[in-house]
Amino acid sequence: MTALDSIFSAFRIRWARLRGASVGSDCSLGPGVRFQRGIRDGQVGRITVGTRCSLDCGAILSAWGGQINLRANVFVGPYVVMYGHGGIEVGDHTLISMHCRILSSNHAIPPLGTDIRSQPDELRPTKICRDVWLGAGVTVLGGVTIGDGCIVGAGAVVTKDLPAGAIAYGIPATIRGWRDGVLQR
């Protein structure tokens, strides 16, 4: 990062803090990073970014009255979108590649003849544990837990929990292998 980039990042961090986000020390925020706390049922959303995190250009963290919590040393690539209605937790040392989408809610499905849009969101907390790598364009659906040390291949759609050390890819994401050192399941 150049000296000028550092100056602009420091300005963006101050601006995020003034708008109510909690941003830890030694972080960097790229151009166009947006924090949107929002209000849901009278509750103001919370966005917490731990120390040494890096959020690249165009990343959007939108709590919608819920919460988004990034632990220490998390990398968020360009144009990642997180919707924290139901709560999102991202563990230490996690890599989230460009254009990923992380959700924490879903729409209720009413009978035909009742507008879907008129139904409330179903809140589904999402947890991404420590040392996880999400490849480019991964979608993580609400209510999923991705265990420590998982690797999720580019373009995958994670619809179910993944155990620690799993290597998964595809639509829906399917376990295809294990990281070295993980006992085979």
* Nearest of 43, 162, 58, 146 to residue 95 by alpha carbon: 146
From the list 85, 93, 99, 107, the catalytic residue is: 107
Q: CA neighbours within 13 Å on the CB side: how many for 70?
A: 30
**Tokens (6 digits) for 100:** 């990923």
Question: CA–CA separation, 137 vs 31, rounded Å?
Answer: 20
Q: Is 85 a catalytic residue?
A: no
Query: 95: helix, coil or strand?
Result: strand
Active site residues: 107
